[in-house]
Chain A
Amino acid sequence: MTETDLIEGLRKQSPKAQQETIDRYGREVFALVVRLVAVTENAEEVYQDVFMKVFSNIGQHDAERASLRTWISRIAYNEAISFLRRKRMPVVYFEDRRHEADKLSDAEVDETLGHANAETVLLIRAALKHLPPEERALVTMFYYEERSLKEIADITESIPTTVASRLSRTRKKLCRIIKMLQS
């Protein structure tokens, strides 16, 4: 089934198209949600809400603006963020109030994040836990899922240049946290 057929089937509320959508994008959506929400039970709730919204609001999807995958990811991202805000889940993360991360040179950042030795990987994993959920999701979408800046901008309801600057800042922030953990 092509994406166009799938969208057409979803518009007609076809159970077959709905099942196909869940099978095709379910795992990706769950991963995106659980990355932000963390607790599995909550992630399951958000996951169900995401697909309920997808099936009920399929009429709002504009195929020319974004693919079905991006549109579903956008709903999942927004649902997870609003769940965190609604439930007021305690999130502890590093905040660079003094903007010390900006003082780090690009070469220093490239060297820290480029060497894939076990110790650095462990440090980076620890540093990722100190990032806010939105920034962690941004880094994952770019580095792990290998999405384009435009796609990430569509998901986060932003513009590509903003996403690029946020990514650059997050890299430096990670480097700063690693330095702190090392010291």
Chain B
Amino acid sequence: MKEEQLNSLRQQDNALREALRQDEAELPQMPADLNARLMKRMAQEKPVAKTRRLWPWVAAACVAAFIIVNIMPPKASPPAPLAKERGVVTPDTHRAEKPMIAEVEREAAQPAATTKAKKAKARTNVVKHDVALLAQETTATESVTPEVKAEEEAKPELAQAVTQDAKPMTLTERDIPITRPENYKYTPEEIALLKKQADEAYLKWVELELEIAKHHLEQTAQQ
């Protein structure tokens, strides 16, 4: 039905219009204080609306932070998994070597420590040492010193070897130090290194003993 037709019907349907007018007149009237209540409610709900705007953002930020903390790996760790994936040896070889060297040093240091403990006993016996023995010991130290020099010369070569080891290389299962117990066995090169370090420590101990003996001799000579 077209709008014009309906508009003409609107004018014709007098009974319907009258009925609607009477119905509308009987409808409940709007309470006088309704608008005042509305304004009051608006004033009450305004601050609530502000908090409502804020809390979703706060919640979203918390969730994002939680996700970042859980998903993102710690800053220090990323190189390790990467190295494992690539099968490349990086400073881990240093780590594996360091404890061994430390152990050797400890072993070398132990005789020195025991000598210190024995110093008191030795002091009483030093007087009994004769000059010939002292001369023998000094020649021994002189004969050893070239070896020490050779070792010192060999040190840069060792350092170079270590740095070469530090360069990336392909890992095999045997190279994994922790999981394979057989890797704890020392290689011939390591044993040689240990021997050298032990010799060095022994020489130092001898030198120290000699110094002590000399000191006591001087004291007795003065007396």
Contacts and interface: CB of A to CB of B under 8 A. Distances in A.
Contacts of A82: none
Interface string A41-64: 001100110011001100000000
Given A30-B34, A144-B21, A164 B10 contact: no
A73 interface: no
Nearest to A55: B42
A124 B19 contact: yes
A15 B30 CA distance: 21
Given A121-B18, A144-B20, A164-B2, A35 B27 contact: yes
B16 A164 contact: no
Given A47-B38, A110-B12, A143 B17 contact: yes
A68 interface: no
Interface string B95-134: 0000000000000000000000000000000000000000
A76 interface: no
Contacts of A125: 19, 22-23
A69 B27 CA distance: 21
Interface string B16-47: 11111111100110110011011101100100
Contacts of B20: 128, 139-140, 143-144
A40 B212 CA distance: 113
Q: A interface, how many residues as a size bin? A: 35 or more
Contact of A52 (B14, B28, B30, B42): B42
A115 interface: yes
B38 A48 contact: yes
A31 B24 contact: yes
Nearest to A44: B34
A114 B14 contact: yes
B76 interface: no
Nearest to B46: A13
A18 B42 CA distance: 10
Contacts of B18: 116, 121, 124
Given A26-B35, A110-B9, A165 B22 contact: no
A134 interface: no
Given A47-B38, A128-B23, A149-B3, A113 B28 contact: no
Given A35-B27, A144-B24, A52 B9 contact: no
Interface residues of B, number: 32
Contacts of B38: 22, 47-48, 51-52
A113 B3 contact: no
The prevalent SS among residues of A at the interface is helix
Contact of A115 (B15, B21, B39): B15
A18 B41 CA distance: 13
Given A30-B30, A121-B15, A143 B22 contact: no
B6 interface: yes
Nearest to B35: A22
B203 to A, nearest CB: 91
Contact of B14 (A27, A30, A115, A168): A115
Interface of B: 1-3, 6, 9-10, 12-24, 27-28, 30-31, 34-35, 37-39, 41-42, 45, 49
23 contacts: A19-B39, A26-B30, A26-B34, A26-B35, A31-B24, A34-B28, A47-B30, A48-B34, A48-B38, A48-B41, A112-B15, A114-B13, A122-B19, A124-B16, A124-B18, A125-B22, A125-B23, A142-B6, A143-B17, A146-B10, A149-B3, A165-B1, A168-B6
